Amino acid sequence: MTKALSVLALCLLTGCSAYRLGGPKPAFTTLDIAPVRNTTNRPVANGLLQQKLAESFGGDPRVRLGTGGAKLDAEISSFRRDGLTTKPTDAFFYTSFQLTYIVRCTLTSGDGKVLFRNREFTANATLRPLGNAAGEERSLDGPIFADIAAQVREAATTAW
């Protein structure tokens, strides 16, 4: 019995020895996030996405923000506000909307190798305005862009 436990313990120790906190090592250690471009009619969205990308990558202990390494180019390429309805007779009176952003990103390593090009990341949220619809709509941009930034970070730091 003791011999079997010893073998089991040895297997666990050797099997877990490759584990590293934070996940696999990404293809880069330094990341330069270029200014976010915006081709939508949402004038301040690019600044908010820039902030969320910096927060997301800044929270990853495997990546340092700065120049001299990989470069991330991002563009907010689409924004949609779709009316949601539950009855066929209220098609022209929407009480809720689905907001959707699509962001295209290109990640290039420090040696010029393209890790992904024009990859689309999408996130959405449901708006149910109660008062100031425009203000309530803008308040959803932060969580939507945080979701997109997390998707971009996950895609960028996955082992290549």
Q: Is 22 left (phi over 0), alpha (psi -120 to 50) or beta?
A: left
At residue 100's C-alpha, the angle toward residues 123 and 57, to 5°, is: 35
Which pLDDT tens digit goes with each residue over 41-55? 998 899 999 999 999
Which pLDDT tens digit goes with each residue over 80-100? 999 887 676 766 677 889 999
- Distance, in Å, from the CA atom of 62 to the CA atom of 110, rounded to the nearest integer, reads 16
Strand-pair partners of 102: 78, 122
- Distance, in Å, from the CA atom of 145 to the CA atom of 70, rounded to the nearest integer, reads 21
**Max alpha carbon distance in the chain (Å)?**
75
Which pLDDT tens digit goes with each residue over 53-62? 999 999 999 9
pTM value?
A: 0.80
Overall size of the chain counted in residues? 160
Which pLDDT tens digit goes with each residue over 110-152? 898 999 999 999 999 999 888 888 888 899 999 999 999 999 9
